[in-house]
Amino acid sequence: MLREGDSLIVWKLDRLGRRVKHLIDLVGELHQQGIQFKSLTDSIDTATPSGRFFFHVMASLAKMEQELNAERTRAGLEIARQLGRKGGRKRQTTDSKIESAKQLLTNGVPPRDVAKNFGVSVPTLYRWVPASSIP
């Protein structure tokens, strides 16, 4: 248990937390309790005014980098959409399989058998062919 006057020492800043806000809040709580924070590889020591300043500058830069990365990701996804690309897993079924399943269900074949025949679960079958669409 850390007490006032102690220091929390970590090897690298990212070992303490992944989110910048979490790091700032944690270091702020430590400071309120009189506990100093030191990061060995980042040369941060919050016992000094310049160390606290450097910590906040590093945290701000990390936040900016995170926001720029998110912005670039969104822009890339938008360009991919404009080019007709879709994200996510490739569709495992085809329109002809869905029509075949619908035909089998219409002819009275039990859903469990149809699902087994197509190698899917009954809920997946009903996602393909909603029960309300079967006469």
CATH topology of domain 7-82: Rossmann fold (3.40.50)
- Using alpha carbons, select from 53, 37, 34 the residue that is nearest to residue 45: 37
Would the pLDDT of 95 be above 80? Answer: yes
Would the pLDDT of 7 be above 90? Answer: no
pLDDT band at 43 (very low <50, low <70, confident <90, very high): confident
Instruction: Measure the N-to-C terminal CA separation of the chain; round to a whole number of Å.
Output: 69
pTM of the model: 0.50
Q: Summarize pLDDT for 63-87 with one digit per residue, the tens.
A: 888 899 999 999 999 999 999 988 8
Give the Å distances, CA to CA, from 9 to 27, 114, 125: 11, 61, 56
Would the pLDDT of 46 be above 90? Answer: no
pLDDT band at 112 (very low <50, low <70, confident <90, very high): very high
Q: For the chain, what are the domain ranges?
A: 7-82, 95-133
